[in-house]
Amino acid sequence: LPSVAIVGRPNVGKSTLVNRFLGRREAVVEDLPGVTRDRVSYSASWSGRSFLVVDTGGWEPDARGLQQAVADQAERAMAAVDAIVLVVDATVGPTATDEAVARVLRRAKVPVLLAANKVDSERAEADAAALWSLGLGEPHPVSAAHGRGAGDLLDEVLKVLPERTGVAAPSGGPRRVALVGKPNVGKSSLLNKLAGHERSVVDNVAGTTVDPVDELIELDGQTWLFVDTAGLRRKVRTASGHEYYASLRTRSALEAAEVAILLIDASEPLTEQDLRVLGLIVETGRALVIVFNKWDLVDEERRLTLDREIDRELSRVPWASRVNISAMTGRAVGKLVPALDEALASWDKRIGTGQLNNWIKDIVAANPPPVRGGRQPRIMFATQAATRPPTFVLFTTGFLEAGYRRFLERRLREEFGFHGSPVRINVRVRD
């Protein structure tokens, strides 16, 4: 999803504006020093379009002072989002901090909108005019607290946000891949290796608009779109190295992709960061190929410990394909395409309703769901409601325990094969 960050110094009403954007009525989070919010990005929609709102509030000014902290925050936001709204308190007028932030934002490559907040009445609109001096164009008067002008501001935000097409249809152009993983696992090295093979970066394949940050790479005679590779190419490690933005970026790459390559450094122990990226992949429901890189550094002993780490840490994705490569030597890089193909075929797969119900009848006859509250739940009907990822709905007469649902998923995978793709099973209880 395209994203917009709300920046500004404390107490100008950023959180109120964020809540307003989200259409919430709930109490406003204050910009109190020491209040750190754990969630700072929210999905919102307006006029039928969805986007992410990133609330940059709640970060404490550090030793270098408020002005620097707010400027740094703007700098980080600039590198990570598609548009920025700078919120200024129109009743106060531009302060030195506002000016410092505006100076940073004038260099932004993404569009910046200036919100003149606390304009609660028509009479107060004159206050907003003073903010032209910030050099960020027209101040948009709003009252975040009362809602005045918020709709117009959202209209402006939508005008500057890029339209993202989302995932391509199976028949529509190249398949979309997100190459993700923590820093230094070898993402750039792999990308260079792949692109270097047969460099055929054409930019107009029928039916696709290629974002400037995406890259078309031909592998085994097939064209693949690697999404959001700009960061991998240019190594913008300065301001965007911030953990939170790295994960925002990963999430948006995953949302734009159909399949993820999760790159893991096989020569080092698995880390929290690897698992966090895995968590994002699971959440977004993308097909998955786990690629263990730096295999040239893996000896017999490391191999054994790695196996144990995989058993322990990657047990939530037993279905993921795995490939061991060396981006440096090129070892086994050719195995990537077959793994991607297989994962995507599973992700797209649809099982006919007749076939599915015959199968479930047999399973349930041999292994009925456990009795709960003295009642034996029956599964009356099953259907595949969606693909990408495959999503099944079971209509039952009672609750199915998690253990039994896992059992069904395992058997479903054995029967129909969904290697490389997550499978979702939803249960609808009918009385």
User: What does the binding site for ligand GDP look like in residue numbers (CB under 6 A)?
Assistant: 181, 183-189, 232, 293-294, 296-297, 326-328
User: Closer to ligand GDP at the Cβ: 181 or 369?
Assistant: 181
Shortest distance, position 328 Cβ to ligand GDP, whole Å: 4
Closer residue to ligand GDP in complex, CB, 141/231: 231
Choice between 298 and 343, CB closer to ligand GDP: 298
Sheet (strand 139-141) strand order? 41-46, 49-55, 3-7, 83-89, 112-117, 139-141
Q: Is 305 annotated as a binding residue?
A: no
Which tokens is 283 given? 């959440």
**Shortest spacing between CB 242 and ligand GDP, in angstroms:** 15
> From the CB of 264, what's the least distance to ligand GDP, in Å?
10
Nearest residue relative to ligand GDP (C-beta): 186
- CB burial string 154-175: b at 16+ within 10 A, e below: bebbbebbeebeebbeeeebbb
Helices 66-80/243-256 angle, 10° precision: 20
How many Cα atoms occupy the beta-carbon half-sphere of 242 within 13 Å?
Answer: 16
**Pairwise CA distance, residues 18 & 427, whole Å:** 35
Question: Is 232 within any annotated ligand binding site?
Answer: yes
Rounded least distance, CB 193 to ligand GDP, Å: 9
Nearer to ligand GDP (CB atom), residue 195 or residue 379: 195
Contact 258/177 with Cβ under 8 angstroms? yes
- Tell whether 14 is in a known binding site: yes
Rounded to a whole number of angstroms, the minimum distance from the CB of residue 290 to ligand GDP is: 15
Residue 396: count of CB within 10 angstroms of its CB: 18
Cα–Cα distance for residue pair 113/136, rounded to 1 Å: 7
CB of 181 vs ligand GDP, minimal distance in Å:
6
Q: Is 364 annotated as a binding residue?
A: no
Burial class of residue 322, CB neighbours in 10 A (0-12, 13-18, 19+): middle
> Would you say 311 and 345 are in contact if contact means Cβ atoms under 8 Å apart?
no
Of 110 and 179, CB closest to ligand GDP: 179
Q: Which is nearer to ligand GDP, 184 or 355 (CB)?
A: 184
**Is 118 flagged in the annotation as binding?**
yes
Query: Toward ligand GDP, which CB reaches closer, 183 or 368?
Result: 183
Q: How near is the Cβ of 293 to ligand GDP at its closest, in Å?
A: 5
> Is 8 marked as binding a ligand?
yes
182 assigned ligand-binding residue: yes
Residue 293 marked as a ligand binder: yes
Give CA–CA dist 353/359, Å, rounded.
10
The answer to whether 336 touches 325, Cβ cutoff 8 Å, is yes
Distance of CA 215 to the CA centre of its chain: 18
CB neighbour list of residue 317: distance below 8 Å, 6 or more residues apart: 278, 282, 288, 290, 422
Task: Answer yes or no: is 164 a known binding residue.
Answer: no
Name the binding residues for GTP.
8-15, 55-59, 117-120, 181-188, 228-232, 293-296
Name the binding residues.
8-15, 55-59, 117-120, 181-188, 228-232, 293-296
